Amino acid sequence: MDKKINIDAFILAAGLGKRMKHLTHDIPKPLVKVNNKPLIEYSLENLINFGINNVVINLHYKSQKLESYLNKKSKISKKLKIKFSIESDKLLDTGGGIVNGINLISSNPFFILNSDTIRVDKEINIMNKMISLWNPEKMDFLLLLFPLEKAKYYKGSGDFNINKYNNITRVRGNNSERYIYTGLCLANTSKFFNLPANAFSINKIWDESIKKNKLYGIIYSGNWLHVGTPEEVINAERQLKKI
């Protein structure tokens, strides 16, 4: 897509990647390859396909290797304007990491992406649908969710429930339908203003939004893969060949 969208994206890429074991001894997790392509390039391709131009990426573990790859070796990254938010002293987690780099974001809302997931849309680019549903008066965040029952190789127990109005809450009850956060959300930029850039999870902000009924979700019907362990790398390679 040649059209550029006036929305920025923030990719969370600073984590230690400990669950990847030997695969991240010498490289950061976003550079772990799936079908001979670094994980982060799947996210960058989705952004390019949507039409996003400006991207902020936070860095910590093996930061120089990831920055060097994106600046010198990656052909995909050259199609984007990338700024780096360096967490040099300590890892700030998801919430603190975004607060640390929020001054590099120039749009409201903006997309937040995890760098350890792979999304393959079906008929429609799901980011277009998220933008069409965005209501800044009602929403702090709009999260893309995936049904737990469809995530065959995912070992978690699910993150959220969702009601008929698309409000989401933490999982309640053993028999409720559970959904996984896919690592993609649309966020109100102001939610990260005037917060200390300390280490904290974005879940802290989400829980505050839940109390105000301002955390919303949309269920994803495309192909989604979580890639956080060596076993999940192997599974992702197998599944992508079937798509």
In a domain, 68, yes or no: yes
Neighbours of 129 (CB within 10 A): 15
Give the count of beta carbons closer than 10 Å to the beta carbon of residue 79. Answer: 13
Alpha helices in the chain (DSSP H): 39-50, 63-68, 93-101, 126-133, 202-211, 230-242
Residues of the chain scoring pLDDT < 50: 1-2
Query: What is the DSSP-derived secondary structure letter of residue 25?
Result: S
> For residue 144, what are the domain limits?
9-242
In a domain, residue 1? The reply is: no
pLDDT digits (tens, 9 = 90+) for 27-38: 999 999 999 999
96 within a domain of the structure (yes/no):
yes
Residue 4 lies in a domain: no
Which CATH number do you get for residue 115?
3.90.550.10
Interatomic CA distance for residues 112 and 94, integer angstroms: 10
With tokens 């974005």, the residue in question is 202
Which of 124, 155, 152 shows the shortest CA–CA distance to 144?
A: 124
Proportion of the chain in helix, strand, coil states, percent, rounded to 5: 35, 25, 40
- As for how many domains the chain has, the answer is 1
Q: In a 10 Å sphere around its CB, with 0-12 CB exposed, 13-18 middle and 19+ buried, how is residue 118 labelled?
A: buried
180 assigned to some structural domain: yes
Quote the pLDDT of residue 217: 98
Strand 37-38 versus strand 33-34 pairing type: antiparallel
| Residue 2 included in any domain | no
The number of residues in the chain equals 243
Please check whether residue 103 lies inside any domain of the structure.
yes
Quick one: pLDDT at residue 4?
Answer: 62
pLDDT in tens, 11-24: 999 999 999 999 99
Distances (CA, A) of 126 to 10, 15, 50, 122: 17, 26, 9, 9
Is residue 3 in some structural domain?
Answer: no
